[in-house]
Structure 1
């Protein structure tokens, strides 16, 4: 099935056809680095990391660019408050970004360009925009003439005359049009600055992404992504700048935007003060739970935050882990070989269930990356795996046909591959760390001690061990194949 993407530029789902066969080029707007990232910032990071993972799952080569805005009014103001150099402050929070993004399973981009490293490209683009008649200089500032660019508003659907009517009366009189925006800002005392043909100054916010995306991907690249709040003015202005610079379009061919995370149905943002940093949330929840919470909702849908929902997702994720753990336990604790146990029908049915889960997963992701339905396919697979395991339990102590092992291995591999597209079941996740070799050996020792207590009929000691483990979040299960343990 062909991947279909909801393109903000056309307001409809479209078949995705990459510019270069077998390759995908993506540019995603990254954070403004003046504080720790909050959950609203984290959503696009997880969304587009998942998009990239799915393309790679399909066998496509992905070139993924995500910038850091390290020059901005917010950074300058925060640096002044803390008595720091603005670039040093930005670098501090870039390092913190990597910690939080890495914890959430967000893989580093192929390139993480910073504004401060791309002044030559930015200045060159601004000069070409002026030369092409779309920009003008006034007192060291450079503005983009939106009235001259005939395609202005095509991404957001806004009309220039409506925007002009809604503009404030006290507009900057130096502008030719109230909606003209800054490409370059003349330096103010105490601000970082760079030399330019228009004097000392720094770039406006919007020009950075146009310049960096053009440098690393060129005009007409495949996918530009970001949060829905960036549609206007940021992405609208990016298009205008890039296409005025190049003299042609499109700048990007598919535009993807994720919905907001809200708190009490109000957008989560630093300016409103209703945000929770990723660091704060990870103090209470496993990073995999946070990621699961985000991918369990379609990326374009709003997502309202509260602890209750995270708790629910924690329990739901544990169900998937338990099913995966049960498959591994069965595969490793049962003997296989020549057997007269009649399981052909059950093996065939489970094998078909695995195949159906894979098909359902792919159909969901092909349809505008519907991770909510993709997660549902994992639960279907978990249910089928548990039912198959219960059937095998009835033959405890007997050798099972070799095809049972083969189908269990297939299910285990499918579970992990599909889950990892969503950023789940990673080898370095907290859950996986708890199942490291050392943990396994320690648990084997504890289970052996408990089994010795039971053999002596010291039920009080056996029950105490079980209860203490439960208090720490570890559940012991007595099964026909022996004792198993899992995380609560």
Structure 2
């Protein structure tokens, strides 16, 4: 474990294979690096799942535990796949990378993912990459091959495989490598590829060296959090840790690795190579960003998550429950027929218990699912009292619960409202819903089927306009995707 100050939060550690305390050099300042995209194609919902879950964890650290989190992300804008895409489209590789990076940031903004404080692109950091590799060459930890490539010598790094247990026979896998697990930190020159000149020869960086060089340039010899999808654990993160420890002469470079589980289609990994992806823009045509985020909140960040219509429907249903509750609270506290209020100490006690339970759940490896379930139980209890206890009026207790729900969901990154412009103002909708509710209530008393049918037509037309009406004792509505 690192030296420093325990902050009272526990996170899963893949080396220890258990939850360990987060210990920071400064109890309120932490560094965080996320592996960003290789910008050769549009981002899909597998990427959305990863970055939304990482955004949720970052928000918890900042908004719940009051950490000053310095965030950085690396963008791979030179890579085999980018070069291939450039050749296929007969476009300069830099144009390809810039176009898909711009699209990526638009997708992230539409998902309400906070942008990193520092964005580091490989193409802008060739000097840092060269210095990093030169340091490894000077320490005799890498070797240059006949084709001008440079490989990391895993036989000289005794703790290689600490993130994921690796069995190395010690035998070379081809004519270039000395050992099977050795990996390229530099790829030798090829005439049809972009290249850079260095002291050991011309070529371009290997994939793993990019992040190590950029992180070391930004954060130095040690990093608090390093994050990415579970597919990056090996070989990418394993190789990053090895070459960074070797370069800095330390046994531990990143203190905490945060790995997000895959988003699957019926137990099949979602990937571009399998051609089974849904783009983020397509996702947001079908569902709101809040709906997808709620689905992510209901899932453990480390575990696989299965994408389905049922999963998204559940996310939408829960978002609607919270919205309906907030609408009902607004109506409840503005009830003009009651002129005397009191406290409901049972509700206030339930609120305090949920606050304490949720804090403990978030301290325990960011258990957001437990938080959502406890808040659903809380608003259910409040709803019951608001509707059934007609002899008493508890505006303070109810408003405090609503305030807590909004506060927590906001801290998790939910907006609870649409960002797009609406054709009909909320006040007009309020008037229509109130009028319909009055008509429907009278029709129910007189059993007027014609008026009830007319009310149903209004409800269905409003739903087609993305406004869903909730018929209860006091009718309310929410905007839906």
Q: TM-score, normalised by structure 1?
A: 0.88
* Distance in 1 (alpha carbons) for counterparts of 2:456 and 2:304: 46
Does residue 366 in structure 1 map to residue 366 in structure 2?
no
2:28 to 22, 40, 45: 22
2:413 to 418, 423, 432: 423
* Distance in 2 (alpha carbons) for counterparts of 1:321 and 1:233: 43
1:18-37 deviation per Cα after TM superposition (whole angstroms, max 9, x unaligned): 12221121111111111111
What is the aligned partner in structure 2 of residue 486 from structure 1?
A: 478
1:199 to 182, 198, 201: 201
Q: 1:263 touches 1:304 (CA, 8 Å); kept in 2? A: yes
CA-CA distance at 1:195 after TM superposition: 2.0
Q: How does 1:228-307 map to 2 (within 5 A)?
A: 228-307=230-309
* Distance in 1 (alpha carbons) for counterparts of 2:357 and 2:13: 23
C-alpha change, 1:236 and 1:461, in structure 2 (3 Å) is: closer
Q: 2:9 touches 2:363 (CA, 8 Å); kept in 1? A: yes
Deviates more, 1:147-156 or 1:315-324: 315-324
CA-CA distance at 1:92 after TM superposition: 0.7
C-alpha change, 1:123 and 1:348, in structure 2 (3 Å) is: same
* Distance in 2 (alpha carbons) for counterparts of 1:377 and 1:454: 34
RMSD: 2.7
C-alpha change, 1:351 and 1:334, in structure 2 (3 Å) is: farther
Does residue 10 in structure 1 map to residue 3 in structure 2?
no
Q: What is the SS of the residue equivalent to 1:415?
A: helix
Q: 1:336 touches 1:405 (CA, 8 Å); kept in 2? A: no
1:323-348 deviation per Cα after TM superposition (whole angstroms, max 9, x unaligned): 232223323445776x2x6x54xx11
Deviates more, 1:120-129 or 1:290-299: 290-299
What is the aligned partner in structure 2 of residue 225 from structure 1?
A: 227
* Distance in 1 (alpha carbons) for counterparts of 2:441 and 2:475: 14
1:74-93 deviation per Cα after TM superposition (whole angstroms, max 9, x unaligned): 11101111111112111111
* Distance in 1 (alpha carbons) for counterparts of 2:47 and 2:433: 43
What is the aligned partner in structure 2 of residue 468 from structure 1?
A: 461
Q: 2:168 touches 2:180 (CA, 8 Å); kept in 1? A: no
* Distance in 1 (alpha carbons) for counterparts of 2:441 and 2:244: 76
What is the aligned partner in structure 2 of residue 440 from structure 1?
A: 426
Q: How does 1:95-134 map to 2 (within 5 A)?
A: 95-134=102-141
C-alpha change, 1:84 and 1:433, in structure 2 (3 Å) is: closer
Count of residues in Structure 1 that have an aligned counterpart in Structure 2: 465
Q: 1:219 touches 1:250 (CA, 8 Å); kept in 2? A: no
C-alpha change, 1:454 and 1:265, in structure 2 (3 Å) is: closer
CA-CA distance at 1:448 after TM superposition: 6.4
C-alpha change, 1:276 and 1:465, in structure 2 (3 Å) is: closer
What is the aligned partner in structure 2 of residue 38 from structure 1?
A: 44
Deviates more, 1:268-277 or 1:456-465: 456-465
Deviates more, 1:204-213 or 1:374-383: 374-383
Q: How does 1:43-82 map to 2 (within 5 A)?
A: 43-57=49-63, 58-82=65-89
What is the aligned partner in structure 1 of residue 400 from structure 2?
A: 410
Q: How does 1:147-186 map to 2 (within 5 A)?
A: 147-161=155-169, 164=170, 168=173, 171=174, 173-186=175-188
What is the aligned partner in structure 1 of residue 3 from structure 2?
A: none
Q: 1:324 touches 1:382 (CA, 8 Å); kept in 2? A: no
Deviates more, 1:79-88 or 1:313-322: 313-322
* Distance in 2 (alpha carbons) for counterparts of 1:454 and 1:5: 52
1:303-329 deviation per Cα after TM superposition (whole angstroms, max 9, x unaligned): 122223222322232222222322233
Q: What is the SS of the residue equivalent to 2:48?
A: helix
Q: 2:437 touches 2:475 (CA, 8 Å); kept in 1? A: no
Q: 1:143 touches 1:175 (CA, 8 Å); kept in 2? A: yes
* Distance in 1 (alpha carbons) for counterparts of 2:281 and 2:136: 41
* Distance in 1 (alpha carbons) for counterparts of 2:323 and 2:360: 23
C-alpha change, 1:2 and 1:69, in structure 2 (3 Å) is: same
1:442-477 deviation per Cα after TM superposition (whole angstroms, max 9, x unaligned): 213434665797899994765543442244343445
* Distance in 2 (alpha carbons) for counterparts of 1:87 and 1:191: 12
What are the ranges of 5 or more consecutive residues in structure 1 without an aligned counterpart? none
C-alpha change, 1:20 and 1:448, in structure 2 (3 Å) is: closer
Q: 1:19 touches 1:221 (CA, 8 Å); kept in 2? A: no
C-alpha change, 1:463 and 1:320, in structure 2 (3 Å) is: closer
C-alpha change, 1:127 and 1:475, in structure 2 (3 Å) is: closer
* Distance in 1 (alpha carbons) for counterparts of 2:177 and 2:455: 80
What are the ranges of 5 or more consecutive residues in structure 2 without an aligned counterpart? 1-6, 444-449
* Distance in 1 (alpha carbons) for counterparts of 2:442 and 2:226: 66
Q: What is the SS of the residue equivalent to 2:361?
A: helix
CA-CA distance at 1:421 after TM superposition: 2.8
Deviation beyond 6 Å, 4+ runs, structure 1:
451-458
C-alpha change, 1:40 and 1:257, in structure 2 (3 Å) is: same
Q: What is the SS of the residue equivalent to 2:12?
A: strand
Q: What is the SS of the residue equivalent to 1:29?
A: strand
Q: TM-score, normalised by structure 2?
A: 0.89
* Distance in 1 (alpha carbons) for counterparts of 2:251 and 2:32: 17
